[in-house]
């Protein structure tokens, strides 16, 4: 589906869960990858347990490194788990 959308000139932003997924979607032509860290833990309906912020940083970096090794212009965003507030962006914007 991502490959077809890319052929049609659509912007694609698939969620990815690990480095292997990131490689596959980058090779397929995804414009932006969303490194998904599972259900967000804030708010009234957020998850009660989640990965640690430190673990998320490591996983997101692995996903980013894998994607950029395939194509330098791919954009990698992150979402979910303990990543819940805009003020956390500085933790993830250094890569």
- Going along the chain from its start, the domains and CATH numbers come out as 1-93 (3.20.20.70)
Residues 5-26 have pLDDT tens digits of: 999 999 999 999 999 999 999 9
Quick check: 88 pLDDT over 90?
no
CA dist., res. 95 & res. 84, Å (int): 19
Q: 94 pLDDT band (50/70/90 cuts)?
A: low
pTM: 0.81
Q: Which two tokens stand for residue 38?
A: 């599972």
Q: 33 pLDDT band (50/70/90 cuts)?
A: very high
Burial code of 55-82, b = ≥16 C-beta within 10 A, e = fewer?
Answer: ebbebbbebbebbbeeeeebebebebbb
């Amino acid at each position: 589906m991502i490959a077809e959308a890319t052929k049609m000139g659509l912007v694609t932003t698939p969620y990815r869960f690990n480095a292997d997924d990131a490689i596959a979607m980058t090779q397929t032509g995804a414009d932006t990858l969303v490194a998904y860290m599972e259900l967000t833990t804030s708010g009234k309906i957020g998850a009660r347990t989640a990965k640690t912020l430190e673990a998320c940083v490591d996983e997101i970096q692995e996903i980013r490194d894998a994607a950029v090794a395939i194509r330098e212009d791919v954009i990698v965003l992150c979402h979910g788990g303990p990543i819940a507030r805009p003020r956390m962006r500085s933790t993830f914007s250094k890569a």
